[in-house]
Amino acid sequence: MKQLFEKYFLLFITISLIIALTAFIIYTRRQESTPLDSLSRILKSGKIRVITQNNANCYYIYRGEPMGFEYELAREFAAFLEVNLEIITPSWSDIFYTLDTKQGDFIAAGVTITDKRAQKMLFCQPYMTVQQMFIYHKSKLPIESIEELPGRTIHISDSTSYHERLLEIKESGIDIDMVVHDDLDPEDLLRMISEKEVAPSSKSSSSDKEISYTIADSNIALLNRRYYPDIRIGIPIHEKEYIGWAVKPDDIELSDKMVVFFDIIKSNGVYDKIYKKYYGNVDEFDYFDLLKFHERLETRLPRYKKVIMKECEKYGFDWRMIAAMIYQESHFDPKARSKTGVRGLMQITEETASDMGISNRRDPVQSMKAGIAYLKQLYHKFNGVNDTLDRIKFAMASYNIGYAHVLDAQRLARRQGLDANKWSSIKKTLPLLAKKKYYTKVKYGYARGGEPVKYIERIFMYYDILKQKAHSGG
């Protein structure tokens, strides 16, 4: 009896182990055969792939560093997920195919949300409002209404919302001569308009015509107007639209994460900081300002470029940033003199000239050597400012209005509970030095504190143009 019990018990144990092992194998194989959703796969792999465009708006490399509005947002999102970011830059005509074939995880390329696109992909919450605008060369007659389209040739990129809109206008009965390019993106067309390039053969036309008209979103048009001052921004052709990131239709978890991410960065100021970096004051310059700047980059800057580069290498500055500063000071005119008596390329005071050991403020080489060395001295005074770019702005503000007044602005920042070592704080408190309520309570008194804020904004606008010229080979 005992032997029989042991026999059946052993058989029971054996069968139980076989069943358990079989169940484990089946479960494991099911787990292996069931694909992870995109978010789970991203978190498991430690990498997210962004599909974007290599242009001034989205993503480009400057001095070995990645830049661009969409890139910086995507970088913040990758940090939010605690994963690495991989950049994928297909042509515009392949951008949606790249997502559809799972070669990337999401599109961040200034994509307008349209009904047609929303049927094929899932958009997260919109993060920017834009309008489609007519763009034309300054030598051409503007388009002042949709009814004036007949007789004008409009060049556009394939697979864009602009193409969709022009087709709608055409279906309404307005005759449009439309050339669709599958190998040019909207920013290519803006550049070609500015440079009066001849159109290559395209899907809809094989004739060689000078490109004079196109369509671009308002943010892209304003941003590129800095680089191409010969373009003009005309009338809008559509109501305001939204821009958003796109994922595949079944990537709901990833889209939900994006919603949370944008809520966070819009409430903590990160989004505003990135937005202002790329789009702040884009509509502030008039065409004359921009044309004059571009002209003097060609006619005046070459005379001084070697000295600027040499001195900047000595002191660790980006020469393009200092060139932008010199232009803001004097428009590259060594004879420039302000109403306050400062002179030369870098508008140096007599006191600073004496301190820096130069005898002739009008001598371009002396002026640049002294001015750049003095800027470095001011830079060293702000050891508490950890961000390099902020520290340069503190130094430039001191160069413009005086070191003592910047110290006063820092004092005001502390009183207001702001971080006195961040430029975002000081640009708020510097203008207060012109108000009696504030300047009577600081050590060095009244100052036109709004001026250095505008001064730095303009320098960095010029600097941005110089960076873009470097990126494009100019």
| AA identity, residue 413 | A
**40-128+245-279 and 132-238: same fold?**
yes
pLDDT reading at 30 higher than 50 = no
Between 362 and 44, whose confidence is greater?
44
Whether domain 288-471 has CATH 2.60.120.860: the reply is no
Return the sign of the alpha-carbon dihedral for residues 133, 134, 137, 143: negative
Report whether pLDDT(124) > 80: yes
The set of residues, in sequence order, having a beta carbon less than 8 Å from that of 59 and lying 6+ positions away, is: 52, 53, 66, 67, 68, 70, 71, 87, 89
In single-letter form, the type of residue at position 292 comes to K
Catalytic residue (one of 70, 72, 187, 329): 329
Does pLDDT of 172 surpass 70?
A: yes
Asked if pLDDT for residue 1 goes beyond 60, the answer is no
- Per-residue confidence band for 135, with pLDDT thresholds at 50, 70 and 90: very high
Alpha-carbon distances, residue 272 vs 14, 275, 408 (angstroms): 66, 5, 26
* Contact indicator for 249, 100 with CB cutoff of 8 Å: no
Residue 288 has pLDDT above 80, yes or no: no
Q: How far apart are CA 472 and CA 214, in angstroms?
A: 21
The answer to whether 82 and 71 have CB atoms below 8 angstroms apart is: no
H helical segments located in 210-361: 218-225, 252-267, 270-279, 287-299, 301-315, 319-330, 350-356
What does DSSP assign to residue 112?
B
Name the CA radius of gyration of the chain, rounded. Answer: 29
pLDDT tens track for 87-108: 999 988 899 999 999 999 999 9
Q: Are 465 and 226 spatial neighbours (Cβ–Cβ below 8 Å)?
A: yes
pTM exceeding the 0.75 threshold for the entire prediction: no
Q: Is the pLDDT assigned to residue 447 strictly greater than 90?
A: no
Give dist(CA 97, CA 138) in Å, integer.
36
Q: Which residue has the higher pLDDT, 359 or 418?
A: 418
Residue-wise pLDDT tens digits, 186-243:
888 998 898 888 877 654 554 457 889 999 998 888 888 888 888 888 889 888 899 9
How many Å apart are CA 12 and CA 98, to the nearest integer? 55
The residue among 55, 70, 458, 46 whose CA lies nearest residue 285 is 458
The pLDDT of residue 303 is above 90 = yes
Could you tell me where the beta strands, DSSP code E, fall in 84-195? 84-88, 106-107, 122-123, 128-130, 132-137, 153-157, 177-181
Residues 6+ away with beta carbon under 8 Å from 174? 146, 147, 149, 150
Architecture label for domain 40-128+245-279:
3-Layer(aba) Sandwich (3.40)
Each domain of the chain, given as residue ranges in start order, spans: 40-128+245-279, 132-238, 288-471
Strands 213-217 and 231-236: unpaired
Beta strand extents in 102-164 (DSSP E only): 106-107, 122-123, 128-130, 132-137, 153-157
Closest CA to 456 of 425, 412, 423: 423
Calculate the CA 435 to chain-centre distance: 34
Query: Which residues have CB under 8 Å from 5's CB, separation 6+?
Result: none
* CATH code for the domain defined by 132-238: 3.40.190.10
Residue 291 is encoded by which pair of tokens? 């044309």
329 among known catalytic residues: yes
